[in-house]
Amino acid sequence: MSQPLKFFIAGLLLLSAVIAYVLTRPQSQPAWDGTALLARAEQSLEGLPTKEAAEIRALLVSTGPTLVDDRASAWLKAAIKGNLEPVSVFAIANLRALAESGDIEAMSGLSFVLTQRIATADEGFRWLHKAAEKGHAQSVFIVMSRDLEDKPAELLKAMTEFALREDDAGYQALYWFAFAHEKGQHGLPQDATKATDYRNRAKALGEKLRASATTK
From 135, 150, 185, the end of a domain falls on 135
Distance CA 216, CA 65 (A): 8
Give Rg (Cα) of the chain.
24
Is 11 inside a domain boundary?
Answer: no
Distance CA 160, CA 70 (A): 31
Query: Across all residues in the chain, what is the average pLDDT?
Result: 87
From 135, 160, 177, the end of a domain falls on 135
Structural domain for 62, as ranges:
35-135
Interior/surface letters 52-80, b for 16+ CB within 10 angstroms, e for the rest? eeeebbebbebeeeebbbbbbbbbbbbbe
Q: Is the pLDDT of residue 1 over 80?
A: no
Domain count of the fold of the chain: 2
pTM of the model: 0.77
| Same domain for 165 and 123 | no
| Same domain for 146 and 129 | no
Shortest CA distance to 212 belongs to which of 65, 63, 104? 65
| Same domain for 117 and 40 | yes
Shortest CA distance to 181 belongs to which of 195, 193, 171? 195
Label residue 27 by pLDDT band (50, 70, 90). very low
Is 17 inside a domain boundary?
Answer: no
| Same domain for 52 and 79 | yes
Shortest CA distance to 144 belongs to which of 168, 120, 166? 168
What mean pLDDT comes out for the span 186-205? Answer: 95
| Same domain for 202 and 177 | yes
What mean pLDDT comes out for the span 34-56? Answer: 94
| Same domain for 124 and 50 | yes
| Same domain for 119 and 82 | yes
From 101, 135, 169, the end of a domain falls on 135
Is 161 in contact with 145 (CB distance < 8 Å)? no
| Same domain for 146 and 130 | no
Q: Is the pLDDT of residue 24 over 70?
A: no
| Same domain for 99 and 45 | yes
What mean pLDDT comes out for the span 7-25? Answer: 46
Is 2 inside a domain boundary?
Answer: no
- Whole-number pLDDT of residue 3: 55
| Same domain for 149 and 71 | no
